[in-house]
Amino acid sequence: MKSNSEINIDRQINRDDLIVIAGAGGFIGGALARYFHDLGYTRIRAADRKPLPQWYQHVPGVECLSMDLGEKENAIRAVEGAAEVYNLAADMGGMGFIEHFRVECLRSILVNTHLIEAAWRAGARRYFFSSSACAYNTDLQRDPHVRALKESDAYPAMAERGYGWEKLISEMFCQEYWAERGLETHVARFHNIYGPHGTWFGGREKAPAAISRKVIEAMDSGNLTIDIWGDGSQTRSFCFIEDCVLGIDQIMHCDRLIATPINLGSSELISINDLVSMVEDIAGVKLKRTYDPAAPKGVAGRNSDNTFIRSILDWEPHTPLRTGMEKTYAWIRQQYADRKAGKRVVTD
């Protein structure tokens, strides 16, 4: 199995070919823009509906467009002249957001509908769509000791309401644009991406960031308690951001993965209770736990079966959760201190 440093990708694009990243004002999109910039690609166009001051990362030399790609004209403008288009634009967040704002999640289909059509008309060579493990059949995720989900488990379809159905339908768009119109498309199903430069407060944050923030708040306030959504038995796998962007690059440039959805996630399963314990250990504190059974908690269990990605790429996301959480916790702790000191932070 290859390590990250052993990966050699034949992208078949020039350094000055235009790479367009939709949703680049967000967590994963911003990380992807920095990734390609650091590789030496000189023409990167980033688009996001958020005002520029609210973008999570600002990458030097990247063309930044603040526009709603759910509008057809904006999608056309964004992909003009593009060699490759990466669609990471979506209205989404952690379970608190996904369960309470299903209409907003569903409306993200407008972005993919307009963007993939515009990319095809613009003559783009490749198109990437960021799907989600929320597309999987929820009947297979009722037990915390869930078996890992393989790609075929999306059908028969019973995706997570709102967000999951949008992803599944958009995957179908990608497959049909390849079958009918010859646009090379690639689809990755993300499993809980986390890391520095992500949302850590405001209601859209996912469990690793939310738990880190709650631990930091408890220590800062002296009220050494933490509230956990559900009973804490829910299980998940979490994929570190550096593995995610490297995985996107490999999947986008693999001829065996054209119009073929594939898992992009860690297979290291952990319960929410154990994740809390991990963050407590990183922080050097022990907190009293309270539980909120009425809070949004999602499916009982979800893990990534990485058999397929290993067979195709001889690679899988491998950053240990403890390693990634140490980096994430340290970054959020600094962000918390900055905000408390009156400095501006934008990841909400």
pLDDT for the residue 118: 98
Number of separate domains in the chain: 2
Looking at the fold, whether 170 and 33 belong to one and the same domain comes out as yes
pLDDT for the residue 95: 59
Write the secondary structure of the chain as one string of H (helix), E (strand) and C (coil). Answer: CCCHHHCCCCCCCCCCCCEEEECCCCHHHHHHHHHHHHCCCCCEEEEECCCHHHCCCCCCCCEEEECCCCCHHHHHHHHCCCCEEEECCCCCCCHHHHHHCHHHHHCCHHHHHHHHHHHHHHCCCEEEEEEEHHHCCHHHHCCCCCCCECHHHHCCCCCCCCHHHHHHHHHHHHHHHHHHHCCEEEEEEECCEECCCCCCCCCCCCHHHHHHHHHHHHHHHCCCEEEEEECCCCEEECEEHHHHHHHHHHHHCCHHHCCCCEEECCCCEEEHHHHHHHHHHHHCCCCEEEEECCCCCCCCECCECCHHHHHHHCCCCCCCHHHHHHHHHHHHHHHHHHHHCCCCCCCC
pLDDT for the residue 98: 60
What distance in Å separates the CA atoms of residue 289 and residue 224, rounded to the nearest whole number?
A: 9
Name the pairing type of β-strands 184-190 and 262-264: parallel
pLDDT for the residue 108: 82
Looking at the fold, whether 140 and 217 belong to one and the same domain comes out as no
CATH number of the CATH domain containing 290 = 3.90.25.10
In a domain, 66, yes or no: yes
In a domain, 325, yes or no: no
pTM score, two decimals? 0.94
pLDDT for the residue 102: 74
Average pLDDT per run of 10 along the chain, which is 348 residues long? Answer: 92 97 96 98 97 93 97 98 96 62 78 97 98 92 90 91 89 98 98 95 89 98 95 96 98 98 98 98 97 85 97 97 98 96 82
In a domain, 9, yes or no: no
In a domain, 348, yes or no: no
CATH number of the CATH domain containing 27 = 3.40.50.720
| Residue 271 · residue 233 · CB < 8 Å | yes
What's the Cα-to-Cα distance from 212 to each of 206, 254, 312, 318, 325, rounded to whole Å?
10, 36, 35, 21, 9
Active site residues: 163
Looking at the fold, whether 222 and 152 belong to one and the same domain comes out as no
pLDDT for the residue 167: 93
pLDDT for the residue 160: 80
Looking at the fold, whether 67 and 170 belong to one and the same domain comes out as yes
Looking at the fold, whether 18 and 113 belong to one and the same domain comes out as yes
Looking at the fold, whether 123 and 190 belong to one and the same domain comes out as yes
Looking at the fold, whether 188 and 127 belong to one and the same domain comes out as yes
Looking at the fold, whether 122 and 262 belong to one and the same domain comes out as yes
pLDDT for the residue 161: 83
Looking at the fold, whether 250 and 165 belong to one and the same domain comes out as yes
What's the Cα-to-Cα distance from 45 to each of 34, 37, 53, 84, 189, rounded to whole Å?
12, 11, 17, 10, 23
Looking at the fold, whether 217 and 94 belong to one and the same domain comes out as no
In a domain, 89, yes or no: yes
Domain residues for the domain of 257 are: 14-195+239-266+303-320
Looking at the fold, whether 30 and 170 belong to one and the same domain comes out as yes
Looking at the fold, whether 139 and 249 belong to one and the same domain comes out as yes
In a domain, 345, yes or no: no
pLDDT for the residue 202: 85
> Does a cis peptide bond (omega within 30 degrees of 0) precede residue 208?
no
